[in-house]
Amino acid sequence: MIGENHESEVEGWLAVQRTFSGMVDEVSAIGETVTKSIRSAQPVYAVIPEPEHRAAVTLQVLNRLHALSEHRGLSASELTAATDLAAERAAGGVPIDALIAAYQVADAEIWRILVERSTPAMTDLLPRVGTLMFEAIRETTTVMAGAHSSVARAIDGDRITLAHQFLECLQDPEQQSAAAVIAARLRLDPRGEFVGLVWLPAPGVTEFSAHQTVSTLPPHLATDVVSRAVAGGQLEMITQAARLPEVVTHGLAEGSLAGRWGIGLARSGLAGARESLGDARLAFNCTSIDHPVRTFERDWHEAVVLAERARVEVLLAPMVEVAHANPHLAETVLAFAAADMSIAAAAQAVHVHANSVTYRLERWSRLTGLEARSFVGLSQSVIACRLAGGHPRPTHSAQREVDNDGRD
């Protein structure tokens, strides 16, 4: 009986080995499948070139298959390969949880194929194979976490220091040579195109403090960004990648990216980087609750005018008070401007009848002396409404005049 059990077990292991050998022959196809699954489930892997990623996955799968077919744990060289990959992924900005999840995708695919191809002789051995796989996951996770943490800490420390030095030198025309050297160390092309950004995270988005930097961003967006914290809890950033500006400008600045954003114009060279960051500051200064994302390319006219807020407020102070006192009028003026002076489109935007829009524009013109249906009057009216900022601050005289007219 014992001999029969032994023979059955030997036969089973031979079947297991044959199955794993078959997978070795198909390792390129398996690696392709696993790579696609990882990149679909973990967007952070977009920072890793796909051919490089596929080669690493294929090697990982091959090491797993060799160890399992030989009924053993991972060898020292196989664990070293996992350690080296963890260090590379840390350098590439892939977080440890995404890395471990990626390894688990490969193990899950190996297990799926094994179960799918199992024979009756293999059935009793599957729990033992599962135990081997579980132990390999434990060992791999341990060595990867250690290597990733060590490299990530060193990179973060160096990058934070270099980012501050770069942004400081960037602002000083006499330090452009130093800025170019630091840019190269940050893997930025000094002659390339830069985009500046300013971000004030929304309350509750993060435990933000003056000591934190761009590590606040999701890792797959932070890889090509350098930043520093400035007064007021804001982050000033420079990037040569389109990922972060595209995410923000396409209306996805929510969740971990929620808050107010100013985005500069793409400009070339280090002088362009300095100017783009200046653009971003101007754009940020015209953000509001209703308009949390501003780009200099689209909103430059408001950004430039509002940069001289103190000068302009002297000219438009009475109109700003009317906007504070009558937010429904200010809302209609802004909607009318955004609708290219179309009464019908403005009515749809503020959810009132077209006649109400006409009345409100007339009312605004009477209260402010600005003809909202003329180019000059509308331009000045928009600036007054932006200066008001959407925060009602009624003045008694203006409010009484509206209250006494029952039409609106």
DSSP string for 22-78: HHHHTHHHHHHHHHHHHHHH-GGGGGS-HHHHHHHHHHHHHHHHHHHHTT----HHH
Indicate the pTM of the whole model: 0.53
What is the homologous superfamily of the domain 310-389 according to CATH? PucR C-terminal helix-turn-helix domain (1.10.10.2840)
- Using CA atoms, how far apart are residues 39 and 43, in angstroms rounded to an integer? 6
Give pLDDT, residue 216: 60
Give pLDDT, residue 165: 83
Strand-pair category, 193-201 with 259-263: antiparallel
Give pLDDT, residue 10: 77
- Using CA atoms, how far apart are residues 219 and 217, in angstroms rounded to an integer? 6
- Using CA atoms, how far apart are residues 195 and 275, in angstroms rounded to an integer? 9
Q: Minimal CA–CA distance to 124: which of 207, 229, 10?
A: 10
CB neighbour list of residue 376: distance below 8 Å, 6 or more residues apart: none
Give pLDDT, residue 257: 81
3-state secondary structure of 286: coil
Region for residue 264 given its phi and psi (left: phi exceeds 0; alpha: psi -120 to 50; beta: otherwise) = beta
Contact 283, 295 (CB under 8 A): yes
310-389 shares the fold of 1-154:
no
Model confidence pLDDT, tens digit, residues 36-45: 999 998 888 8
Q: Minimal CA–CA distance to 225: which of 204, 208, 242, 209?
A: 242
For residue 191, the one-letter residue type is R
Give pLDDT, residue 154: 64
Structure tokens at 62: 């091959």
- Domain residue extents for the chain: 1-154, 195-285, 310-389
- Using CA atoms, how far apart are residues 89 and 311, in angstroms rounded to an integer? 51
- Using CA atoms, how far apart are residues 337 and 20, in angstroms rounded to an integer? 68
Q: Minimal CA–CA distance to 256: which of 298, 213, 204?
A: 204
Multiple choice CATH, 1-154, 3.40.50, 3.90.550, 3.10.100, 1.10.490 = 1.10.490
Structure tokens at 71: 């009924």
Give pLDDT, residue 16: 86
3-state secondary structure of 263: strand
Strand-pair category, 225-230 with 267-268: unpaired
How far is the first Cα of the chain from the last one, in angstroms, to the nearest whole number? 97
Q: Which residue ranges of the chain lie beneath pLDDT 70?
A: 1-7, 152-158, 205-223, 251-254, 390-408
Model confidence pLDDT, tens digit, residues 204-259: 765 443 334 455 666 666 667 888 888 888 889 999 888 888 888 886 666 778 88
Give pLDDT, residue 6: 62
Give pLDDT, residue 29: 94
3-state secondary structure of 130: helix
